[in-house]
């Protein structure tokens, strides 16, 4: 019995399983990178396809990283206010580097740096961590949790018939809900208003009767 054994082994050793989950989490974040990677661009940004059991195992890791990055957004905004506009390496930048403003900037930036190092330790990819802090975390500022979803695919994987699933970020690829409109039938269609009868036919009838009397 597997008492007090958390998670799935997925048929791998602990080190192999840990490395695989790191790669899956990094792959999900890397789908949000810039469009400069035309040779290896993802089909849909913010989405990866894997087996159902792997998706269920990597989902807590992805959401943990997003929560860590999201908590550092106030510190990053405060540090951005203290950052100078001078170009790095210029005389103005060197002067700012020796001033007290730099110490304030470093103190405001410290939580962000610590969180980035923690995420790199969890997923093992610096580029994926940068995309997480710069792009993904800002998207879920007002969301308390549940940043990803798992959708099962109908067709199994070729070869071993493994059950496949999609792991993706919520909010970007959501389905648009549209309310159906009630169809209009001929019986329910509004009838055209009746037009008043003109007096022209009655006048013509009187004229024809008068002509017939003259002939008699």
pLDDT tens for each residue of 173-202: 777 777 888 887 776 666 666 666 655 555
Q: How many CB atoms lie within 10 A of CB 199?
A: 8
Token look-up 């510190």 returns: 75
**Region of residue 60 (phi > 0: left; psi between -120 and 50: alpha; otherwise: beta):** alpha
**Neighbouring C-alpha atoms within 13 Å toward the C-beta of 53:** 9
* Torsion of the alpha carbons at 113, 121, 165 and 49, rounded to the nearest 10: 80
Q: What is the length of the chain?
A: 216
Dump pLDDT digits (tens) for 27-46: 999 999 875 555 667 788 89
Q: Tell me the sheet residues that pair with 149.
A: 168
Domain ranges of the chain: 14-169
Contact yes or no for 173/105 (Cβ under 8 A): no
Give the C-alpha separation, 206 to 204, whole Å.
Answer: 5
Chosen CATH of 14-169 out of 3.40.50.300, 3.90.1030.10, 3.30.450.40, 2.120.10.30 = 3.90.1030.10
- What pTM did the predictor assign? 0.76
Contact yes or no for 115/70 (Cβ under 8 A): no
pLDDT value at 87 more than 70 = yes
């Amino acid at each position: 019995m597997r008492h007090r054994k958390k998670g799935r082994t997925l048929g791998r050793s602990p080190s192999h399983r840990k490395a695989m989950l790191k790669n899956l989490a990094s792959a999900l974040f890397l789908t949000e990178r810039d469009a400069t990677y035309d040779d290896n661009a993802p089909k849909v940004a913010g989405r990866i396809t894997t087996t159902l059991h792997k998706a269920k195992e990597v989902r807590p890791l992805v959401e943990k990283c997003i929560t860590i990055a999201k908590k550092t957004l106030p510190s990053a905004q405060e540090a951005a206010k203290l950052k100078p506009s001078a170009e790095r390496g210029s005389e103005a930048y060197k002067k700012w580097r020796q001033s007290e403003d730099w110490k304030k900037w470093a103190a405001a930036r410290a939580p962000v740096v610590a969180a980035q190092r923690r995420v790199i330790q969890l997923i093992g990819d610096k580029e994926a961590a940068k995309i997480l802090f710069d792009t993904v975390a800002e998207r879920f500022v007002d969301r308390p949790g549940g940043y990803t979803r798992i959708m099962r695919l109908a067709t199994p994987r070729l070869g071993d018939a493994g059950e496949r699933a999609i792991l993706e970020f919520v909010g970007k690829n959501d389905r648009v809900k549209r309310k159906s409109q009630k169809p209009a039938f001929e019986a329910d269609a509004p009838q055209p208003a009746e037009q008043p009868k003109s007096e022209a036919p009655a006048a013509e009838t009187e004229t024809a009767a008068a002509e017939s009397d003259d002939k008699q």
